[in-house]
Amino acid sequence: MLVLLPCYSLEDFSLYRSADEAREIFASISAFYHPALLEFFGKLPDWEPAGSPSDYQDHRLILIPPCCESLIPKDWLQKMVEKEAFLIRDCSDRKMILEKALAFIDQKDPPFSEDITESFLAMGLAWFVSELLSRKLRYMSDIDLTELEKNALAAVKAFRENKPEAGNEELQKGYDLICEANEYYFPTPPKFLDLTRWTPEDSAESLKEMILKRKDREEKTNLFLPLDTLDALLKTDSSLADLMKEELENGRLQLIGSDRSEPLYLMPQFEIYHRLKEVLDDYKSRLDYLPSVYQRTNAGYSPALPRLLRLAGWKGILLFTSDGWKPDHQEQDRLQWKGADGTLLPAIAQEPLDGEDDAVFMEQLDRMGYSYSATDIMTLLFAHRPGKEIEVLGDIARFNRFDPILGQTVGIGDYFEETEKSGSVVEMEKDDFRTNFLTRSPDPDPISFWGNFYQNHFRSMAKNAFALMDHFSEKREKSKEKDGDLLLRNGSPTEKKLVLEGKPASIAEPLTARTRTVLDDQGKSFTLFTLPPFSQWKVRMDSNEEHCSGENLNPSSAKPSFWKKTVDFLRGKKTESDKKMEMIEFVEEPLNRNEIHRYYAIRNEYFELRIDPATGELRRLQVFGKESLEIQRGLIRQPGRGNRFAFQLGLRLSPEQQKADPRDRKDGNFGYTIMSADQITLLENGPLVGRISISGRLMMPDGEIAAKFREILTVRRGSRIVNVKISFNPKILPDGHRWDHYYGCRFAWKDRLAEIRTGLHEMLWRTEKDYVQGPEAVDIRSEQKIGITLLTRGYPFFRRYGMNRMDSVWITKDESERNFEFGIGVDLVQPIIPSALGFLAPDPEILPVVSDSHFSDLQLFSFEKKSGDRQTVIPVELVPIFEERSVLLTLQETTGKKDHLRFKPSFSFRKAMFLDLEEKGPIWKDLPVDSDGFLDLDAGKYQMIPIRFEEISL
């Protein structure tokens, strides 16, 4: 038997070939190892170069792969025909070759089982690839072909005599020869992972056939099956569930789990955590199986994910996605992904190879050879659809039943267990992931989805808090004291002082739920609420079914008359009700003899805003206080000097529309519409609240109206946040690329060296990218205490231009939302908590009405430990589990710094546990309680800590 190969020696055999050539060569080499052919010819097949084959008389069966036809000498074929050699030509796969070869020896149905035959065919491939690896890198091989031939023929004889044990023993000896020769040069073989992906485009029968086939061969199947795909599969063929459960139980089938393609990345951490746990619960309910390896179907990773996955119960992750995304600059196969809090999660970073392409596998032989001596574990991951994998992968799985000649074929779960401590530690920043939901999203409303999500999320949290308070309060005795006495008795001296001075309540105890019943001067009662978990959550006050809202116990948060009555009651006296102090005025300021500068000035004790009366844009934001005083003294601090910030509304023109823009490209307004104010109205102008409305048009460069708009700016005394509400009525809709053609707000700031940080996962992340995603906030920080913070209210997308300009992206193609809201925070010490998350709190009208008779003052937790002047660990979620008489509290470390926390609940409980993250996975551990009822927690070890209180009671 002779096989021609397209080379002169194995040392110069090229591994970089087309898929057809690679398949032809692999099929040709392995086919002649069929036991019937070995028995007939009594020897192993030979190979010769197609360019100079010999013309020996004993070449009776010659295989010529199609890729070798053009290399054969013209007269050689004729010589072989004259010598009565049988030529097999134009056969590109193993099945066709074997049909012709077995017909030549007149054994169309040889007496060898399919299992035995495949073991021999795999031996041919094992010999060939081992020779290629050794000779290309070491220029020599130690495989004893004489002994290998002896073992192979002895195995054939044993199987023919129906002695399977002896036959397998001889086969094992042959495989051992190849493996020992290979290990002499390459002692660290790689890991082979064969990944199957089923999609609804594939038939359920194809997957069923593949699982049954591998079951018969005792081979492992790694199946990537997201939940929505699993549901579609089980609907198509319900019998698959029983088959999969059987294979999952014995370990032959191992699943890679995933969510329902939801973009988790921009969600709060505790929301991601619960969804990851729900994914495991869903797999458990459908297949009675918990996958340990996680993969996303679309981009959406973050540095917070390692801890969240470990907490939820996942043990490893594939960092690439099934839609083709992977992290940049990751050359390692196997690594330890280090999260933001230091948690390590085993990961595979390299995307899978095409398991349906023989050429890809052949190219990997080169990489495998040079990687065998490396210290890191090399991992070869092949992905394919069910039943579409190349024959080579089946051969590798087959000869790995004898010896791991090229590497060990493993299940995905086994792989992560066996390599748990392997790989270098890699800490990837947020920008390394380059997630682009705005472009990737195929659904309508890609922007308002996030605004609605965040507002619904916090609405749900508010309802949970009220449900918990109602549950507690029903068991409490109703107080018989007067409402006024109740307020004064329950309010702490410090809190009363803050109220009387008109300052916000302290954030030292953020998880507080309060209601207070107070009497106004007419003897009518109203109720004041503050909600957990953030001190800046909105307040609802009921008085004859009239509502008003604002920040927690802040005089600037309510209507002046309403707050005045409250303060009067606490002081026990009345003030002059007709005294006014306006916050907004129209200014005419002479610039020179011929010009007058006109603008609306909106002021509080922290800053002044200047609104252009012609355009309606914010032209200037100037900060009062320390910076201004130092400038007056000659001590210039550049970041805080003069005009700090400005913004205007606009439509960014598409590239085609920009071609018709007559303005110079150096003009700062080139490529945008022109903002024009039609009407400016003062809605409220008192001592505590200033509110102004601006209505106008956005004009195209040729004068056409692109949209009409209305903008409402609100400034409160005692607050460093400007509230901005905007409504669009577009006449021209964006229809181009979402990042290039949109309605939004154009922001500009003075300091070109300011650092941009995005608010995500209750933390700030530095970014240098032009495409910014910050659903909680975007912080533009010059120094630690000098900065502008955009409180985004869940709308996450911004595009940066240059060093000091950025646009919000609000209305794009397929976006139907027309009303938007954001805040401008000035020199906020803590931009995320409470400011950004407080700004995301629900509006008053969505909160449930709670009777003031239910309870008076319920403080759920008190915190004792702070770091410096602020608390770094805050509660971010409170979930009542009524049927179990339990409460699940989630604490969040917000700065990445170490902190020790002592806190005390106001209710009694039988047991408190926290979810500790150990090497083998998360485990609930008892939380110690001291004699004073305080619980101690080393919060520096964690970024998110779930705590469970059991059998709670008041």
369-395 core/surface letters (b: 16 or more CB in 10 A; e: else): bebbeeeebbbbbbbbbbeebbbbbbb
In 758-903, where does DSSP find H-type helix?
837-839
Angstrom distance (rounded) from CA 320 to CA 322: 7
Helix %, strand %, coil % for the chain, to 5?
A: 30, 30, 40
Beta sheet of 2-5, edge-to-edge order = 46-49, 2-5, 61-64, 86-89
Q: What is the pLDDT of residue 631?
A: 43
Is the N-terminal amide bond of 533 cis, ω within 30° of 0?
A: yes
pLDDT tens for each residue of 111-163: 889 889 999 999 999 999 888 887 766 666 678 889 999 999 999 999 999 99
Joined together, the tokens standing for residue 215 give 């079951």
Regions of the chain short of the pLDDT cut 50: 375, 474-580, 627-637, 843-858, 869
Q: What is the pLDDT of residue 567?
A: 43
Can you tell me whether residue 670 is helix, strand or coil?
coil
Q: What is the pLDDT of residue 380?
A: 85
Strand stretches in 67-226, DSSP E: 86-89, 191-197, 221-224
Q: What is the pLDDT of residue 640?
A: 55
Amino acid (one-letter) located at 18? S
pLDDT tens for each residue of 510-521: 223 333 333 333
Strand partners, 587: 599
49, containing H or E segment = strand 46-49
Can you tell me whether residue 726 is helix, strand or coil?
strand
141-157 core/surface letters (b: 16 or more CB in 10 A; e: else): bebeeeebebbbbbbbb
Q: What is the pLDDT of residue 864?
A: 67
Q: Which of 768, 759, 780, 894 is nearest to 826 (CA)?
A: 780
Residue 836, CA distances (Å) to 534, 762, 823 in order: 10, 9, 9
pLDDT tens for each residue of 323-371: 777 776 556 678 899 988 888 999 988 888 899 999 999 988 877 766 5
Angstrom distance (rounded) from CA 163 to CA 493: 94
Angstrom distance (rounded) from CA 633 to CA 298: 56
Q: What is the pLDDT of residue 21?
A: 93
Strand partners, 889: 878, 947
DSSP character at residue 349? -
Q: What is the pLDDT of residue 544?
A: 29
Angstrom distance (rounded) from CA 393 to CA 388: 11
Q: What is the pLDDT of residue 273?
A: 85
Joined together, the tokens standing for residue 800 give 């940066």
Q: What is the pLDDT of residue 860?
A: 62
Q: What is the dihedral of CA 359, 363, 368, 369, to 10 degrees?
A: 130
Angstrom distance (rounded) from CA 308 to CA 280: 13
Angstrom distance (rounded) from CA 743 to CA 735: 11
